[in-house]
């Protein structure tokens, strides 16, 4: 297949790390599966990659559209059929965008005409011929993920489709034209096997295959046209399954057989079933066979049982909730009483701990890390800062490679939401009540309003950024309740916006200064545009400033971060060596952007 090739986009537009992920119909069976795809996308985003997510239609949708098209048209033109069947991918892309938005992952859904995605050939078996790569890459200045419908492009006389399995071809072409580091085709099997593993019990998985062998063995698992095109353009394809650590690489390589992987479900104990815990339980239940759940610890089991999923049971007895030697304990009860005691004891007893509780991590940072180390267990707390915004991951990544000078951020979603409401004249009490209803606020919302929640987060952040231990009480905090209606009106009048800013920086004597303050920002300040529960952080390095933004509170963004921690632990448990060797690169080392925005 000889096609006119595209000029490579300007390298300055290309993010440092870019991957194309393709989600096929074999993993998109039902609307709930978009949340599972979002977890996979988020995993890459928090490792510092920008993602192009190319989606197929939901399983069965394309056949149904062909069926109804043929019924209505009875021998109608292929051009009209192509126009009809592409609707499956258009719908799927919009659903993917909605799932990402729910989790607070900054993303844009683009149709082929918005990306200059051109095609030519037969209406139902066309090839892609070009993409406006610079236009696509520029969108990464404001989002981490671009969602694109696969399977079709814009022909000279209207939309044309790429043949069955054509979304694989879309993904390979995007990887080539955008200069992506890799393209990962997500299927319902974790690679190419000697035979279909669903039908042949002793089918063997390949770790890597060359293109010709892959075309022969894969028997349609990967579209033939996509393999041919990848070979022509030297695009390395990975065939992988959702959440499983293995993949088959298809490249100009020697064939190599891979290991089999038996996945035993991990036992998970979830403590708490409130705003965060209920979201985490929903994600765990959406992965049957991978996790078994203990009874969930709550204050009032009867209240939680009504309307909950049938697979869930509840208890108010911590011993029952933690029975059966769970592999992972997820703490979402909050507070520094029971939660603090249990966090230490579960590590001592040999479980991995994933927690959303910043108050406990801020207070017991050293003790919890020591216990995790002593017992060879993981301690994860991504959700303690920024909800679903990977602030801690970015701080870790930069601190590993560079000298962080200062960090400032909006770290409390409730305050950001409340300040927005106050600016519109809503009284403080009503704004706080609404933040509680939306699941953003702490059990005692004065922790949000008085800056104490932001101080807990800042204490953890300072530790990661500068390695300096600060007790949250050492961080001076300004309270939102000190803002008078007159001051808010005056700031509004000047066209400024109030934000609660948590900031920290190194001092000349090698110490660290940290505080939480209410600041009036000019509208063009990078943090000024954060609305509602938005969180964000700006990190200053000698080489420039990097920012990261998204949704910082609420069920789904927070559960996304907690679940990503759980999935990381499962992956590391299955393949410890592979996880250890995967260290993300420094996003500033090539002067390019990462899963965050370079703002200065």
If DSSP codes are grouped into helix, strand and coil, which group holds residue 141?
Answer: helix
| Rounded least distance, CB 84 to ligand HSE, Å | 45
534 phi and psi angles, rounded to 5 deg: -60, 140
Nearest to 397 by CA among 71, 34, 26, 46: 46
- Closest C-alpha to 41, from 101, 117, 90, 112: 101
Using DSSP's 3-state secondary structure scheme, residue 277 falls into helix
326 touches ligand HSE by CB under 6 A: no
Structure token digits, residue 392 = 């801690």
**Tokens 């192009």 sit at which residue?**
52
- Candidate list 40, 393, 450, 453; residue touching ligand HSE; CB under 6 A: 453
Task: Say which entry of ligand HSE, ligand NAD, none residue 329 contacts (CB below 5 to 8 A, set by partner kind).
Answer: none
Assigned token pair, 574: 């299955």
390 binds ligand NAD (CB under 6 A): no
Cα dist. 287→33, 103, 162, 313 in Å? 10, 17, 32, 17
Of residues 2 and 306, the one with the C-beta less far from ligand NAD: 306
CB of 360 to ligand NAD, least distance (A): 7
**Does 448 interact with ligand NAD (rule: CB under 6 A)?**
no
Min separation Cβ 470 and ligand HSE, Å? 18
Using CB under 6 A, pick the residue from 117, 217, 236, 276 that binds ligand NAD.
276
Helix axes 485-493, 413-423, angle to 10 degrees: 80
Q: Note whether 84 binds ligand NAD by CB under 6 A.
A: no
From ligand HSE, ligand NAD, none, interface partner of 299 (C-beta below 5 to 8 A by class): ligand NAD
Q: Which residue stretches of 306-412 are H helix?
A: 318-321, 338-348, 358-363, 365-374, 391-401
Q: From the list ligand HSE, ligand NAD, none, which binds 274 (C-beta under 5 to 8 Å, kind-based)?
A: ligand NAD
CB of 471 to ligand NAD, least distance (A): 18
Euclidean distance between the first and final Cα of the chain, in Å?
A: 44
Candidate ranges 66-74, 252-260, 293-301, 408-416; the one touching ligand HSE (CB under 6 A): 408-416
**Contact between 442 and ligand NAD (CB under 6 A)?**
yes
The partner in contact with residue 443, picked from ligand HSE, ligand NAD, none with C-beta cut-offs of 5 to 8 angstroms by kind, is ligand NAD
The tokens for 540 are: 């200053």
438 lines the binding site for ligand NAD (CB under 6 A): no
Q: Which stretch binds ligand HSE (CB under 6 A): 28-36, 249-257, 317-325, 435-443?
A: 435-443
Query: Which residues contact residue 511 at a Cβ distance below 8 angstroms, ignoring those fewer than 6 apart?
Result: 468
Question: Which region, judged by CB under 6 A, interacts with ligand HSE, from 29-37, 168-176, 212-220, 409-417?
Answer: 409-417
- d(C-alpha 10, C-alpha 29), whole Å: 38
HEC readout, 175-218: HHHHCCCEEEEEECCCCCECCCCCCCCCCCEEEEECHHHHHHHH
The residues that bridge with 238 in the sheet, in sequence order, are 184, 249
> Please, which residue, 279 or 547, has the CB nearer to ligand NAD?
279
What track of x and - describes contact with ligand NAD for positions 307 through 346 (by CB under 6 A)? ---------x---------------xxx---x--------
> Can 231 be counted among the known catalytic residues?
no
Judged by beta carbon, residue 106 or residue 387, the one nearer ligand NAD is 387
Q: Binding partner of residue 332 among ligand NAD, ligand HSE, none, CB under 5 to 8 Å per kind? A: ligand NAD
Interaction partner, residue 275 (ligand NAD, ligand HSE, none; CB < 5-8 Å by kind): ligand NAD
CB-CB contact of 521 with 528 (8 Å): yes
Residue 572 — left, alpha, or beta (φ > 0 → left; ψ -120 to 50 → alpha)? alpha
Contacts of 204 (CB under 8 A, 6+ apart): 193, 194, 257, 258, 260
Binding site partner of 414, from ligand HSE, ligand NAD, none, Cβ cut-off 5-8 A by kind: ligand HSE
Q: With CB cut-offs between 5 and 8 Å by kind, which of ligand HSE, ligand NAD, none does residue 412 bind?
A: ligand HSE
Tell me: does residue 412 bind ligand HSE (CB under 6 A).
Answer: yes
- Binder of ligand NAD out of 9, 48, 166, 277 (CB under 6 A): 277
- Contact window for ligand HSE (CB under 6 A) among 14-22, 261-269, 368-376, 441-449: 441-449
Rounded Cα gap, residues 63 and 44, in angstroms: 31
Only one of the segments 33-41, 270-278, 521-529, 570-578 lies at the binding site for ligand NAD (rule: CB under 6 A); that segment is 270-278
Q: How open is the CA angle 388-394-396, to the nearest 5 degrees?
A: 120
Residue from 187, 457, 499, 551 carrying the catalytic annotation? 457
Choose the binding region for ligand HSE from 39-47, 57-65, 434-442, 540-548 (rule: CB under 6 A).
434-442
Partner whose binding site includes residue 297, from ligand NAD, ligand HSE, none (CB under 5 to 8 Å by kind)? ligand NAD
Q: Is 253 exposed, middle or buried (0-12, 13-18, 19+ CB in 10 A)?
A: middle
Give bridge partners of residue 545 from the DSSP assignment. 540
Closest CA to 325 of 298, 301, 353, 346: 346
In the complex, least distance from residue 465 CB atom to ligand HSE, rounded to whole angstroms: 18
Distance of CA 532 to the CA centre of its chain: 20
Selected from 40, 393, 442, 565, the binder of ligand HSE by CB under 6 A is: 442
CB of 555: closest distance to ligand HSE in angstroms?
A: 11
The window from 105-113, 319-327, 412-420, 493-501 that contacts ligand HSE (CB under 6 A) reads 412-420
Question: Does the protein bind ligand NAD through residue 409 (CB under 6 A)?
Answer: no
Whole-number Cα distances in Å, 118 to 138, 161, 169: 19, 11, 13
Scan residues 514-573 and list those touching ligand HSE (CB under 6 A). Answer: 552-553
Least Å distance between CB 536 and ligand NAD?
A: 15
Calpha distance 159→81 (Å, rounded)? 10
CA-to-CA distance for 151 and 161, rounded, in angstroms? 6
Q: Which of 152, 440, 556, 563 is the binder for ligand NAD (CB under 6 A)?
A: 440
The correct pick among 22, 249, 273, 499 for binding ligand NAD (CB under 6 A) is 273
Give the catalytic positions in this structure. Answer: 457
Binding residues for ligand HSE, rule: CB under 6 A, are: 387, 412-414, 440-442, 448, 453, 552-553
């Amino acid at each position: 297949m000889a096609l006119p090739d595209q000029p490579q986009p300007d390298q300055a537009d290309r993010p440092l790390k870019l991957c194309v992920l393709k989600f096929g119909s074999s993993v998109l069976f039902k609307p709930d599966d978009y949340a599972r795809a979002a977890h996979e996308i988020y995993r890459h985003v928090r490792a510092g990659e920008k993602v192009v997510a190319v989606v197929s239609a939901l399983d069965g949708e394309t056949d149904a559209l062909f069926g109804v098209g043929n019924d209505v048209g009875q021998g109608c033109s292929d051009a009209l059929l192509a126009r009809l069947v592409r609707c499956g991918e258009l719908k799927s892309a919009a659903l993917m965008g909605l799932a990402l938005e729910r989790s607070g992952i900054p993303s844009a859904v683009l149709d082929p005409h918005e990306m200059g995605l051109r095609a030519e050939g037969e209406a139902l078996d066309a090839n892609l011929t070009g993409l406006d790569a610079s236009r696509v890459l520029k969108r990464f200045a404001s989002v981490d993920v671009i969602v694109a419908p696969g399977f079709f492009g814009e022909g000279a006389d209207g939309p044309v489709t790429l043949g069955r399995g054509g979304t694989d071809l879309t993904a390979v072409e995007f990887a080539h034209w955008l200069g992506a580091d890799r393209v990962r085709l997500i299927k319902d099997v974790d690679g190419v096997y000697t035979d279909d593993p669903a039908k042949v019990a002793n089918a063997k998985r390949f770790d890597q295959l060359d293109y010709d062998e892959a075309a022969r063995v894969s028997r349609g698992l990967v579209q033939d046209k996509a393999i041919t095109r990848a070979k022509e353009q030297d695009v390395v394809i990975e065939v992988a399954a959702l959440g499983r650590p293995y993949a088959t690489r298809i490249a100009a390589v020697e064939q190599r057989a891979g290991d089999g992987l038996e996945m035993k479900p991990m036992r998970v104990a979830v403590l708490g079933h409130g705003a965060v815990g209920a979201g985490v339980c929903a994600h765990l239940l959406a992965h049957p066979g991978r996790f078994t759940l203990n009874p969930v610890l709550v204050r009032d089991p009867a209240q939680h049982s009504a309307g909950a999923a049938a697979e869930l049971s509840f208890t108010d007895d911590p011993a029952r909730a933690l029975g059966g030697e769970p592999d992972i304990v997820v703490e979402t009860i909050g507070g520094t009483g029971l939660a603090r005691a249990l966090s230490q004891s579960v590590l001592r007893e040999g479980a991995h701990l994933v927690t959303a509780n910043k108050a406990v991590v801020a207070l017991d940072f050293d003790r919890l890390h020591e216990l995790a180390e002593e017992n060879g267990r993981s301690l994860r707390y991504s959700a303690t800062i920024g909800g679903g915004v990977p602030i801690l991951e970015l701080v870790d990544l930069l601190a590993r490679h560079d000298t962080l000078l200062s960090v400032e951020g909006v770290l409390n979603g409730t305050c950001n939401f409340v300040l927005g409401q106050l600016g519109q004249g809503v009284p403080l009490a009503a704004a706080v009540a609404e933040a509680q209803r939306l699941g953003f606020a702490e059990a005692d919302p004065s922790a949000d309003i008085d800056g104490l929640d932001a101080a807990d987060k800042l204490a953890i952040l300072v530790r990661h950024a500068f390695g300096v231990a600060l007790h949250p009480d050492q961080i001076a905090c300004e309270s939102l309740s000190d803002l008078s209606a007159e001051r808010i009106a005056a700031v509004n009048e000047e066209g400024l916006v109030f934000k609660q800013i948590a900031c920290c920086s190194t001092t000349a004597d090698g110490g660290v200064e940290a505080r939480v303050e209410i600041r009036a920002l000019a509208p063009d300040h990078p943090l000024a545009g954060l609305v509602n529960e938005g969180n964000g952080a700006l990190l200053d390095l000698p080489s420039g400033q990097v920012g990261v933004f998204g949704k910082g509170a609420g069920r789904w963004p927070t559960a996304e971060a907690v679940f990503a921690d759980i999935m990381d632990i499962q992956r590391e448990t299955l393949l410890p060596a592979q996880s250890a060797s995967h260290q993300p690169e420094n996003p500033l080392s090539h002067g390019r952007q990462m899963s965050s925005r370079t703002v200065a």
